Every structure is written in C-alpha cells, then in structure tokens.
Amino acid sequence: MQTLPRVAFLICLILAFGRGAAAVADPTFSPFPTCAAMNPYPGTALTPCVMSGLLVLVASDGEDQDFPPSISQRLGLVPTPQNWPLRKVCSKSHDSRIHCFEISRGSNQDVLVTVGPLGTKPSDDAYTRNIFRARRDGSVESELIISTAPGRTWTVHDADQAMQSELDQEWLFWGNIFAPNPSPSPS
C-alpha cells in the first residue's frame, strides 16, 4: 500500500494553475484552501482540483494491473471478454476500508473507484467489493458489487441517485486527502 504524497498534489496544482517553481519555495503558499473552495462538477461531489490531483497521483505513484474479463466485461469496459489494463492507486481509511482509484492504460476515459473491507481477498468468505464506473466529471455510470457471502455473486447496477450518493462519498474521501478539513485544536 502506498502513502499518498501531498507533493504529487502540489505538483498538480502548479501544472494546473501555472504558479511556477517559485510557489513551491514560498512557505506561505497553501494549495489546500483553493482546492477545498472549488465548486464540484454539477450533480457530483467531485471538484476539478480533486480529479486533477488523482490523475497526477495515479500517474506518479500508481501500479499497473489488469482487471480480469469477469469484471471488465460486466462493467461494460470491453465488448468481449478480455483484460482491461489499468493503473491504480489505493489508500486505507480509518474505518478499515481500502479505497482505490483506477484509470485505463489505454484510451478509455472512464475511471473506476473501488471500495471494500481492508485485508480481504476474493477467496475469503466475507469478501465484498463495490466497483464504480464513472466519468471524469464524477458522474456514475454503473456499479458492480462482488460478494462471496453466501456463495459468489456479481451484481451490476445502472446509475441512479442512490449510487451517485455512494460514489460522492468516495469523492469526498479522496478530496479530504488533498484538502483535509482542519481538525479542531484541543482545548
């Protein structure tokens, strides 16, 4: 598991907003309030700043993998059974869940957001993963739920408002990594 470096986000902001190298050396410069203050894409909780940060992060720190045909075809990423080459970055949350952001290593512009319990694998009895297929504006296209309890089930859902709300929670999780809400100081 990789630690999510805030340096990658700073590089993203420099590239996106043209602040130049001088901004890195300026100790008073903070990209986080700017990112937190950005308006999200319509109908989603994702801001352009968070998407840019995720794309830089996955490009710089991601791992190359392939989704197997059983997943890629069910999500509609490929027309026939074949692997879907991806690059992914993951982070652990305080509630013992793993959150992953995945992009295609090919020409597909959709992104995948995966979430599930930390420390489980497909052969476990209690394995569950939610895989959201989304556009880069944060809007959900579909969701695949994989569960092994009881038995192995694969459930694909088309986009609806409840699913968008679930995905928005993931966008907020990732956004909090780039622009964390300040913790109240102890009294």
Taking a C-beta distance cutoff of 8 angstroms, is the pair 143, 128 a contact? no
Euclidean distance between CA atoms 43 and 41, whole angstroms: 6
What pLDDT does 181 receive? 52
Euclidean distance between CA atoms 146 and 137, whole angstroms: 25
Give the start-to-end residue ranges of the domains of the chain. Answer: 6-178
What pLDDT does 179 receive? 65
- Longest Cα–Cα distance of the chain, Å, equals 60
What pLDDT does 83 receive? 93
List average pLDDT for each run of 10 residues in the chain, which is 187 residues long: 44 40 34 62 89 92 92 90 94 90 94 89 74 94 83 76 92 82 45
Tell me whether residue 159 is exposed, middle or buried, using C-beta atoms within 10 angstroms of its C-beta: 0 to 12, 13 to 18, 19 or more.
Answer: middle
What pLDDT does 159 receive? 80
What pLDDT does 135 receive? 95
Residue type, 91: S
